[in-house]
Structures are given as C-alpha cells and as structure tokens.
Structure 1
C-alpha cells in the first residue's frame, strides 16, 4: 500500500489559507466538488469518491485516529463506473455515511495541500506528504511540521479522525 503523512486542522476561514497555499505552491488552486461515500467494512475505512458520472475512486485506507502528523496507508482503485460500484457496495456493505465538500487543491513539492469547506462542519486544512516506498515516516513528519509552521497551524487546531467521524459525532450529540 502507498503511504503518506497526514495532518488535519480546523481553520476559521479558507481565504487566508488559499492565499498562502497559492504563494507557497506558486499556482492557483484546483477546485473540486467531492462526495465521499463511506461503507461499512471490517478493516480500516472504505470510501467511494464520486468525481463525475464516468470517474470515481474507491479508496481503502488505514490511519490512527490521532491528532498531529500520522501515517496513512492507502490503496486507490480508479473506476469509470462509480454509480455501478456505489450500488454494488451499498447492497453488499451498507453506507456508513456521506461527506460532501468543496476542496481547494495545491501541490507544494510532493505534499498535497487540501483546503476544504465541508458541508455541516466548516473549514479545514489538510496536508498529505507522499512518501516513497523506501522512505521512513520521520522525514514525512518533519516535512509536515515545517509546512504546519509556514501556515501557522498550532496544536490546538489539530483534529483527530476523519470528517465522517466529526459528522457522526455531531449527529449523536444532537440526539
């Protein structure tokens, strides 16, 4: 499985982060509307990212639900028939939840920077430092921490878990 070092943080406003990411990456953002459908599974997480009618990604991943830089192992399967895959997985596994977001994507070196406006949650900042097959976690953590400092992210902003976890905890608190 491929690996990256991830960081997720709650932010007040996306505008400042988009401006900073544009400066650091020397490019404008790619803006993407995403719908991630999470399915029940026994190991890690399984989600189908609906990109459009003829493109989707089935993503299986495992990562600890801790704040700060953490290793994530993942496998991505590109599909030209996301609706067929959604129907099949819904019937066999059941849907755990759905996350909808507008993502502003940047690439800073090998690090994927996501500035997300998540429906029902607000604004978030994510880093994914992509590791090579023979690379240790420490170099990715060091790179993530350096970028966190450039963006002014502090420990109080760091988030545990996935967006789905946050949405599910909100709905359980409302009951």
Structure 2
C-alpha cells in the first residue's frame, strides 16, 4: 500500500493562508470539488470520493487519530460510476457520513498541501507528505513540521479527528446509518 504522513489544522480562512502557500508552492493552485461518502469498515476507513457523475475514487485507508503528523496507508481504486458504487456500498455496509468540500491543491516538493473549505465546518489546512516505499515515517514527519512552521501553524490548531468525525459531533447532526442487516 502507498503511504504518506498526514496532518490537519483548523485555520482562520483559506484566504489568510493562501499567500504563504503560493510563495512556497511548486505547483498549483488546482481547484477540486469533492463529495466524500464514508462507509462502515471494521478494518480501517472506506470512502467514496466523487468528483463528478462520471469520475470518482474508492479509497481504503488506515491511520491513527492523533493531533500531530500520522502515517496513513491507503489504496485508491478509480471509478467511472460513483453514484451506483455509492448506492451499492450503502446497501452492503451502511453509510456512516458524508463530507462536501472545496479543496485547493498545491504541491510543495512531494507534499500535497490542501486548503479545504468544508461545508458545515469551516476552513482547514491538510498536509500529505508522500513517502517512498522504504522511507521512514520520521522523514515525512520532519517535512510536515518544517511546512507547519513556514505556514505559521501552531500546535493548538492541529486536529486529530477526520472531517466526517467533526461533522458527526455537531449539535443536532444526525448521521444516517443505512445497512442491509
């Protein structure tokens, strides 16, 4: 499986961080609209990411919940029919949540820098430092810390939960659980 080091932080606004990211970016900005549907999965996390009616990805991943940089293992499977795949997975496993986001992607070296605007939550920074096959996670953690420092992100801004978990904790939020039992 592919690996990266991930870290998320709550930010005041995408606009406030934009100038700092653009100054260090090698590529970008690339604007991406994402509709992520999460499914019950006992061995990790399973989500369907839809970009459009005819373009999506089924993503399985494993990573711990912690506020600092964390290693994530993942497998991505492209799909040309995300809507019917979502329906099948919902019937088979149950939907555990949905996250809609406007993501702006930049590349800084081998790090994907995401400026995310999450519907219902606000603005976030997410870093994904891509690791080589035999590379230690410490190398990625070091790169993530350097980028956080360059972007002026403080430790208290880091979050451990995923976006779907943050949304589920909102007052009055009901997570739809559909399963064929």
Q: Distance in 1 between matches of 2:106 and 2:52?
A: 20
Q: Distance in 1 between matches of 2:167 and 2:31?
A: 22
Q: Contact (CA 8 Å) 2:26, 2:106: kept in 1 or not?
A: no
Q: Distance in 2 between matches of 1:115 and 1:158?
A: 14
Specify the alignment match of 2:119 in structure 1: 119
Specify the alignment match of 1:86 in structure 2: 86
CA deviation map 1:32-70 (0-9, x unaligned) = 111100011111110000011111000001111000111
Report SS of the residue matched to 2:169: helix
Q: Contact (CA 8 Å) 2:167, 2:173: kept in 1 or not?
A: no
Report SS of the residue matched to 2:138: helix
Q: Contact (CA 8 Å) 1:104, 1:115: kept in 2 or not?
A: yes
- How many residues in Structure 1 have an aligned counterpart in Structure 2? 174
Runs of 5+ consecutive residues of structure 2 not aligned to the other structure = 175-181
Q: Contact (CA 8 Å) 1:49, 1:57: kept in 2 or not?
A: yes
Query: With structure 1 as the length reference, what TM-score do the two structures score?
Result: 0.95
Report SS of the residue matched to 1:72: strand
Runs of 5+ consecutive residues of structure 1 not aligned to the other structure = none
- Superposed, 1:64-143 pairs within 5 Å as 64-143=64-143
Change (3 A) 1:53 1:12: same
Normalized per residue, the structure richer in helix is 1
CA deviation map 1:101-125 (0-9, x unaligned) = 1001001100000000101100000
Query: With structure 2 as the length reference, what TM-score do the two structures score?
Result: 0.92
